[in-house]
Amino acid sequence: MSIQTETVLYAANGTTLRGHFAYDANLEGERPGVIVVHEWWGLNDYIRARAQQLAELGFSALAIDMYGEGRTADTPDDAGALMNGILNDMSTGTRRLQAALDTLRDHATVDGSRIAAIGYCFGGAMVLHMARTGMPLKAVVSFHGALGSFHKPAPGEVKAKVLVCHGAADEFVAQADIDNFKAEMEAAGVDDEFVAYEGALHGFTSREADRNGKKYGLPLAYDKQADAGSWQAMQGLFKRVF
């Protein structure tokens, strides 16, 4: 195994986006591709590491840049401002997601007919949006992501199988959001699975969550069992769709 990484520049509506691409150079031929969408902090080392983990599993992974020019945040206030800049302008967000998808599909190592997307927190909302708008994905996985909808899919519009990995103790996701999400998926005829990990708080996949939770007084925490279980659930889904 020889994991190679590189910065990939792409653009949407004149904004330069700085993605992080990871793949196993020892594998021959095309393989499935996976988009990785960051938390509200932006494309940081944690998300780059997830892309590299996917490369170790035999995928080509593109950790994408939703904020432009590789911008990241160090405080919740800055992160919230960057995130809300996208959430309040989802036409721009959609174009950036589509540009990332096109970039990954065009890579020489990628089988463009076999693409999935995973996302964390803010990124979870983004990959669910990709599915809801009918982007040609085999699967999407949301890890402790927001569930609110920017687009209500029509029956048959969602092409991807959907997996939501949720912390049962997540204080940022209201029960009403869960109920509405499940009803929306059922109405659209989506092949979906919703897994709630008992006792897990928001950010349960990130080892930085404990530090950030204490530093900023937020209900965040890493949960080793939920992290491992959700990663295994993702791999199981990918085996089925790929």
CA–CA dist 213, 60 (Å, integer):
32
Domains, the chain? 3-241 (3.40.50.1820)
In which residue are the tokens 């800049």 written? 85
| 77 Cβ contact partners less than 8 Å away, ≥ 6 residues apart | none
Phi/psi at 185 (5° precision): -65, -40
- Scored b (16 or more CB within 10 A) or e, 16-47 reads ebbbbbbbbeeeeeebbbbbbbbbbbbbbebb
Q: How many residues does the chain have?
A: 242
Whether the model clears a pTM of 0.95, i.e. scores above it, the answer is yes
- Spell out the per-residue pLDDT of the chain, length 242, in tens: 899 999 999 999 999 999 999 999 999 999 999 999 999 999 999 999 999 999 999 999 999 999 999 999 999 999 999 999 999 999 999 999 999 999 999 999 999 999 999 999 999 999 999 999 999 999 999 999 999 999 999 999 999 999 999 999 999 999 999 999 999 999 999 999 999 999 999 999 999 999 999 999 999 999 999 999 999 999 999 999 99
CA–CA dist 59, 32 (Å, integer):
5
CA–CA dist 91, 232 (Å, integer):
33
- Phi/psi zone of residue 34: left (φ > 0), alpha (ψ -120 to 50 degrees), beta? beta
